[in-house]
Chain A
């Protein structure tokens, strides 16, 4: 009887190893902790993609809950999610701003002209729908780098105070919207409108109860 605990040690160690490795099967090595979570947007001053005379700064994104969508015409997944984003914009009035960057490998020696880029963007938006309130053109991809973007599409949920509340890597589809991005967006919108006045809080409750019904329906 005295030796039983000693015999158990390798078994316990082995079980722990199995649990550790089993968990590893389901871990995504590409999932990185975002460094911009709960921080304000990094400073930038970038032109509008379609009207280069217009310049945007982080202040332009304040006052309204925004989903900043990092995308490009060369990105296939962006094209896939675009109809759904457009649907969100039309049906739920979601405020989506594009952060556009081109894949031309070196902006300093890029061969593409701005008008060519604009033409491609217009073509793509007319084909898949335009979910964007406007597009910010990240010419040198510096802002993407500051945001810790590794590719496209990526999304940042920014609250009314200009603080990044969520960094979502990958596309937004119905499942992602309902389980991850949507609830936070609605909560932030509710908070923002709650600050404005009493009257809108009723809407919030209506939205919430709608959510409850939807969940029960599922």
Chain B
């Protein structure tokens, strides 16, 4: 949501520049251009107002903290239908229903964790973007650490142990050859 917002605001100066340039170069079309740019600006503004409220729909909150919780939760909860979207972004019916449910639960005074647990008990761990540490997901964290650890061991062992062994063998071989030469 925020990203969309920022985009709309950043468009505004671009259009303003166009307006200034046109003033300098073409005086005849000035009035027409000015009105078009103005129209676009107004349109952008209207659009941005709408996008600000898109995720919140017609929800009204008791406190700013509650609104904050709602925005965090709808961003953290995953839509079971369109699997790579959170429920704030998704337009699937189930996402609408889940937003409504999150809102209702928050209004009842439930904490963020309670809302997450509520959704998890219905749609599984899948529904939350933060996976819990279980036997199956442990590898997500342990894997990289284990890899670095094993790699370090291999590197250290290669550097410290391998050369002396080789050298000792070579020295022994050289000694042997010297012995034979003497004979």
B residues 76-125 near A (Cβ < 8 Å) are: 80-81, 83, 93-94, 96-98, 100-101, 120-124
B93 near A35 (CB under 8 angstroms)? no
B contact residues around A146 at 8 Å (CB):
122
* A151, B122: Cα distance in complex, Å: 14
Interface range, A side = 20 to 34
A35 near B83 (CB under 8 angstroms)? no
B contact residues around A186 at 8 Å (CB):
none
B contact residues around A113 at 8 Å (CB):
none
A residues 1-55 near B (Cβ < 8 Å) are: 29-30, 32-33, 35-36
A150 near B94 (CB under 8 angstroms)? yes
A contact residues around B121 at 8 Å (CB):
35
B contact residues around A214 at 8 Å (CB):
none
B124 near A106 (CB under 8 angstroms)? no
B80 near A141 (CB under 8 angstroms)? no
* A140, B134: Cα distance in complex, Å: 35
A contact residues around B122 at 8 Å (CB):
35-36, 145-148
Question: Given the known A-B contacts A105-B93, A145-B101, are A151 and B81 also in contact in the complex, defined by CB atoms under 8 Å?
Answer: yes
B98 near A32 (CB under 8 angstroms)? no
B contact residues around A36 at 8 Å (CB):
122
**Most chain A CB within a 10 A radius of its CB, from B81, B83, B122:** B122
Interface range, B side = 10 to 19
B93 near A145 (CB under 8 angstroms)? no
The verdict on A103 contacting chain B, using a C-beta distance below 8 Å, is yes
B124 near A35 (CB under 8 angstroms)? yes
A141 near B97 (CB under 8 angstroms)? yes
A32 near B101 (CB under 8 angstroms)? no
B98 near A145 (CB under 8 angstroms)? yes
A contact residues around B83 at 8 Å (CB):
29-30
Q: CB-CB contacts of A141-165 with B at 8 A, as 1s and 0s?
A: 1101111111100000000000000
A150 near B97 (CB under 8 angstroms)? no
A contact residues around B96 at 8 Å (CB):
105-106
* A151, B98: Cα distance in complex, Å: 13
Shortest distance in angstroms between B60's beta carbon and chain A's nearest beta carbon? Answer: 13
Shortest distance in angstroms between B81's beta carbon and chain A's nearest beta carbon? Answer: 5
Contact partner of B97 (CB less than 8 A), chosen from A33, A145, A147, is: A145
Shortest distance in angstroms between A29's beta carbon and chain B's nearest beta carbon? Answer: 6
| 5 tightest A-B CB contacts, nearest first | A150-B80, A148-B122, A150-B81, A141-B97, A150-B94
Interface residues of chain A, those whose CB is within 8 Å of chain B, are 29-30, 32-33, 35-36, 103, 105-106, 109, 141-142, 144-151
